[in-house]
Amino acid sequence: MIGDCDAGAALFEHREARLAALDSLPRNLWLGSLVNSQGPLGPRLDALAGLRAALLAGVLPDAASADWPDRQLAVPLRAILRGLGLPALCRERTEFADQVVASMLWHLDRIVDYVDRGDDAAAATARALAAFADDWKEKCDLVDELVGVLGATGDLFKNMHWDRLRGLLQSDDWREVVRIRRLLEAYAQKEGPWEEGQLGRATAEELDRLVGVARTVLAQEAAGR
């Protein structure tokens, strides 16, 4: 009887050990991490925790230590993350890093769906990787455009809704921000740093107003309103 209890306890501890890496992941990543179709559970959780920690530090995890996903996925995934500059964007931005990890899990989980629809394994893998890359290329372009005009964004990407950000950057107000910013940059390149007296107070005030509109919208998003 005691032996059976000891065996049961050992089995429970073994199962608990496999889930230990969950403690390093936020709850919003638990479900996607647990049910993902790629690879065994233990190595998957360990790798995801390592990837998230590395992204928050602004780097990629050591390639030699990664045992999930397999190299057919791990090598191109690292290339995508590096090529898009995602580690730098995720540095000390918890929400941003979590979005990248969640998105990666979602796209990798589509591989089995693509196979079910008729793709072979190689084509399904390539399709999922391309979709992940395209998704984050668009988002990185949005970030670049925003930072290029507003400069440092601080916490403005916290709880950001990408569809709403896309809508903001397509708005007439934003186009006017970009237009005036380009005029100022062109003037600075030609004449040197500008002053309000040179360009006129109205131009400077209009730029400040429009930038304020953009920052207000982003701040409201960050507050989750």
Could you state, in chain order, the average pLDDT of each consecutive group of 10 residues for the chain (225 residues)?
50 57 88 91 90 95 74 89 95 92 95 96 95 95 80 63 79 76 64 48 56 62 55
Q: What is the pLDDT of residue 82?
A: 95
pLDDT of residue 124: 96
Cβ atoms of residues 69 and 108 within 8 Å: yes
What pLDDT was estimated at residue 115? 96
Q: Where are the alpha helices (DSSP H) in the chain?
A: 2-18, 30-35, 41-56, 71-83, 86-90, 94-116, 121-150, 162-169, 172-191, 196-199, 201-222
- Number of Cβ within a 10 Å radius of residue 164: 13
Phi, psi of 84 (to 5 degrees): -85, -5
Burial class (CB in 10 A: 0-12, 13-18, 19+), 87: buried
Determine the pLDDT at residue 217.
57
What confidence score (pLDDT) does residue 35 get? Answer: 92
